[in-house]
A and B are shown apart, each in its own frame.
Chain A
Amino acid sequence: MSSKQHELELLLLTMFSAVPLYGTAAISITPLIVFHVVMLLLVLRVATGHDPELIPLPLMRVLAVAYILFYIVDAAVISRSAIAASTHLVLFIAAYQPMEPVSRRKESQRLLTAALIFVASVATSTHIAIVPFVIAFAFLLFRELIHLSHADSVQTAGVSAAEPPSGRAAAFYVFGTTAIGILLFPMLPRVRNPFVPGFIGSLNNASTGLSDTINFNDQRTIANDATVVSRVWMGQEAIPFFTPLRLRGVIYEHFKNNIWHQGRRDLMSVSTRDGVSEIARGSGFSSRATVQQRFILGTRLFLPSGTYQVIGVPQIYEYPTRDIYTAWQSRGEVVNFDVRLAWSTNPLHVQRVSVTDYPVTPPVLAMARQIVGNETDPMKQAARIESYLSTHFQYVPDPSQLGARMNVDQFLLRVHRGHCEYFAAGMVALMTALDVPARIVGGFYGGKLNPLTGYFVVRREDAHAWVEVFDGNGWRTFDPTPPSLRPGNAQSGLLAAYASALSDSINYFWDRYILTFGLADQIALAIELISQTRSFLAGLNRSSRTAVSNLLTIRSLIALAIMVGLALITIWIVNRRRPAFEMLRDHLRARGIEVGPSMTMEEALIELRAKEPGVADALHPLIALYEEERFSEHSIAAREQIRRRLAELQASARA
């Protein structure tokens, strides 16, 4: 590799190391673009035969000193994050090093900087797409390291020697490192620092189910986002009862200025016993389900409707509002846990609920009374309103199609068109008019069954809003949005569905066994291994006993004796047919003389003579005999003589 080619490769490697940062959003895009532009200019300079000193050296050094101060400003004011500011700093160093002549020559430090950038990229990335980047980076890094190793060797030695090609070697070591890495990954201890916990902030202006409020003053925008929010596995018997899934994440129960707000509540811990957190009382059909959930709103849990127990999350808090739960754990992207679902759930404690503070107007009251007629049971009233809205109102999936902004009264009385939030808010307004406590629930709805893995996948685009009505004991779910038009019910072609299922299966494997692999998995793996080993040994023991008892029959013993006899005869024949060279070689080997492929018996004899002259004298006629047999024109039956004589020599040596 020429020095120019090497410099180019090093620059490109550094550039490449920062590419995943675009996807992870660990830092903003502007410094990344600046970094890549600067590095690209350096590449162009080197490619055209210039030094990579883009900026004059004195100015560069001043900039380097100035950046130390800037780092503090960056961390405190601009990015407001030590991690982001540190990443900026490393990017600056990576660009500075090739421009400064002394640093440029320290290639190992430059590689280290590139590795640091790449680790920053990987640490903030959670998608499986990072894997090809890791492999490509490892390949380039290994090439550079092999080159550096060669350069160091020749420098130490003070010679100039051509470097052999290193592409195949690098690929070989990437393969080897990956194999060892895969073996090591599950074994590294997952002991997390308990002092680095955290709730992560909420999202503003997010789509339904994720935003802090439902603001009818602003027009909602919905983007198709196929990011998986949750995967839920449940037994076949539970599917008819609990699907389509409703993952509850936000409850809006206060209305003000045409905005629905969440209720406020202090942090309340949920009591946990043996890893089981009890959040409600279940009744009716019950089943267990396994959930893998991505944290998309802090560490808030999106629990399926009907959940009354959460298993496997160390600590849960009822936060930020009643009946909504958040996990207390260190920053992570995905969490795995089990839930117990029941057909009907009631709160653990008696709840005092009231109707919402929605300002009911006479036309809305009249509309509510007209819909329910003379029905007095609140649940039946809710069912009539749900049915009325879903059949008489038109669902508009894209809020931008609605045109002008409207409030809930306008939706109910005049427009009769809207998205799920209008349907839910309209129903809550009507229930409020009837003095029945009701609330809007935000979350995700639907879930497509992945036929390859047997779990239901819920994506961000499945965000939805529905209604819960209080029946005096607990909250019951109603959804006034027309069922066929709800977000989670979108249909796709067979091929697209299969491709989606396949892609999601791979993602699931990544999420489940890589991203969320934790201490509990390690313990489970260890227990599984111990159990497998035990059962294997027990099986071996059983089969050996059976084999021994089978062998102890006369027929088996006769067969065994015949086999042993045949084996001994075969060995005897093979031994008698062994070439004289091999016999002599083995004899010499026993004496500590290794007869190599390019060594003659004469040379071996000389070597033996230096060590053991007596033995060499005894062996000399045999070697002469061997050489006569090997090289003379006439045939000599020396092999038998040599074999016999060697046996005598060995016997005398033993004596």
Chain B
Amino acid sequence: MSTVTGYRLPVTGDGPATGNRQPATFEFEGVVRLTRIGVSFVIFTVIIGFAAINTGNNALYIGLSFMLGCLLLSGVASKNGLQQLNVEFERVQEAWAGRPAEGKLRIANRSTVWNVRDVIVTSPELAAPIFIPILNRRSEVRVDASFLFAKRGIVQLKVIDLYTRYPFGFFFKKRRAKISGEVVVFPKLLDEHSERERFRPVDGDLHPSNRAGIGTDVHSFREYVRGDSWRHIYWKKSASLGRWIVKQTEVEAARAVQVVVDPFKPHGTSDDDFERMVSEATTFIYDALRRGLDVMLAMPRISLRARPGEPATAMFRALAVLEPVHEPVAQAIDRNAVVFAVRRSDELKTA
């Protein structure tokens, strides 16, 4: 197996940041298109055929046989070549709605006969089509693919389109290949300046870390184990209990911010409003983590905590799959918590 870097193609339309990719100009429904040179070749073949039949000249029949053979072989080669391609979705590193996400596709040519060249891979989920110069028979390549998902949530990758003109460029063949893959797309992050500035003043509150580590406050006591420093032995308690007891300190209290996301979507509000609220919450959490704050996220039946430098995948995944509810949900809200909720325009917005 070899790894190749596919050539990512520019896309017509509004560009990747706006969401779903617009189909490129060459894409079409169906399985085959006759190209311009293909049309010329077919017309030429018809003329030669007419001349051969008209004159009975076997030399022309030889030419006609070759030309028909060429057309036939071209069709068979491109069809069989594409048919034998097997596409597998490998993975996407981290997918955010509206942003290109790097991933990998594995494309295997299972044919024992046909090499396939000039393959263009497209899909609604790909940020840009991928160009593969050659796929040798019985070989496999891994290509970098840039995905672009319009919305948050769980996206099922089901089909991918493969195009080729190979070998002679008479036909532009297409095959829709089935793939199976699932990507959790995190909510869309809002624009750097306009949105994040809103939350810049939020510094968070000092919050006990509840973690053993270097600090001054006592976190807990435990029995001495081999390797513990003698300096941490709590002599007074060890003497009273008659065995070695070690004092553990607590990591300094971190600045933390509590975020509450209310999934209630009142009547009169749109899905876009809800999505925007989720995006705002996500952008806030993302920004807070980048600023070194601990984040505690509270949603109905879910409470998650993330610390700077640690993956906050679970938190973003929870936001990715958050569904709106149509009845108010009771949630305990801390006095200093930042609450994200959708409100009708006549209600006061929080945060």
Q: Interface on A for B, CB 8 Å cutoff?
A: 108-109, 111-112, 115-116, 119, 122-126, 130, 134, 138, 142, 145-146, 148-150, 152-154, 156-164, 169, 173, 176-185, 188-193, 196, 330-332, 514-518, 596, 598, 607, 610
Contacts and interface: CB of A to CB of B under 8 A. Distances in A.
B221 interface: no
B66 A517 contact: no
Contact of A157 (B59, B61, B129): B129
Contacts of A193: 53-56
Contacts of A156: 25-26, 120
A142 B57 contact: no
Contacts of B65: 180-182, 184-185, 188
Interface in B129-184: 129, 131, 133-134, 164-169, 180, 182
Contacts of B164: 153
Contacts of B62: 122, 134, 181, 185, 514
B56 A158 contact: no
A193 B51 CA distance: 10
Given A169-B167, A179-B69, 13 more contacts: A122-B59, A134-B66, A138-B66, A149-B165, A164-B117, A176-B69, A181-B62, A181-B68, A185-B62, A192-B56, A330-B55, A332-B56, A518-B56
B7 A161 contact: yes
Nearest to A130: B59
B9 to A, nearest CB: 5
Contacts of B10: 158
Contacts of A518: 56, 58
A516 B55 CA distance: 13
B11 to A, nearest CB: 9
B254 interface: no
Interface centre among B25, B60, B66, B182 (most CB of A within 10 A): B66
Given A161-B7, A188-B52, A153 B180 contact: no
B70 A150 contact: no
A164 to B, nearest CB: 4
A181 B66 contact: yes
Contact of B58 (A159, A189, A516): A516
Interface stretch (B33-41, B92-100, B229-237, B261-269): B33-41
28 contacts: A112-B41, A115-B44, A122-B63, A146-B117, A149-B166, A149-B167, A150-B118, A150-B133, A152-B37, A152-B169, A153-B120, A153-B165, A157-B131, A159-B7, A159-B9, A163-B133, A164-B117, A173-B77, A177-B73, A181-B68, A190-B56, A192-B53, A330-B56, A515-B58, A515-B59, A518-B56, A518-B58, A607-B180
Interface string B311-344: 0000000000000000000000000000000000
Nearest to B166: A149
A345 B32 CA distance: 67
B73 A108 contact: no
Interface residues of B, number: 55
A162 B60 CA distance: 37
Contact of A145 (B8, B57, B61, B167): B167
**7 cross-chain pairs, A with B, having the tightest CB-CB distances, nearest first:** A149-B169, A180-B69, A192-B56, A153-B118, A181-B65, A108-B37, A181-B69
A343 B72 CA distance: 54
Q: Residue among B10, B40, B165 with the most chain A CB within 10 A?
A: B165
Interface string B112-125: 00010110100000
Contacts of A192: 53-56
B53 A189 contact: yes
A162 B131 CA distance: 11
Contacts of B165: 149, 152-153
Contacts of A179: 69
Contacts of B180: 607
Contacts of A516: 58
B209 interface: no
A119 B53 contact: no
Contacts of A177: 66, 69-70, 73
Contacts of B35: 152
Nearest to A118: B63
Contact of B59 (A112, A123, A162): A123
A162 B133 contact: yes
A161 B37 CA distance: 21
Contact of A180 (B61, B73, B88, B120): B73
Nearest to A599: B88
Contacts of B44: 112, 115-116
A103 B56 CA distance: 34
A19 to B, nearest CB: 16
A445 B56 CA distance: 31
A108 B40 contact: yes
Given A154-B131, A596-B88, A598-B88, A188 B56 contact: no
Nearest to B9: A157
A352 to B, nearest CB: 40
B64 interface: yes
A184 B65 CA distance: 6
Which one of A152, A157, A180, A190 has the greatest number of beta carbons of chain B within 10 Å?
A: A157
Please indicate which of the listed interface residues A119, A134, A153, A161 has the most CB atoms of chain B within 10 Å of its own CB. A153
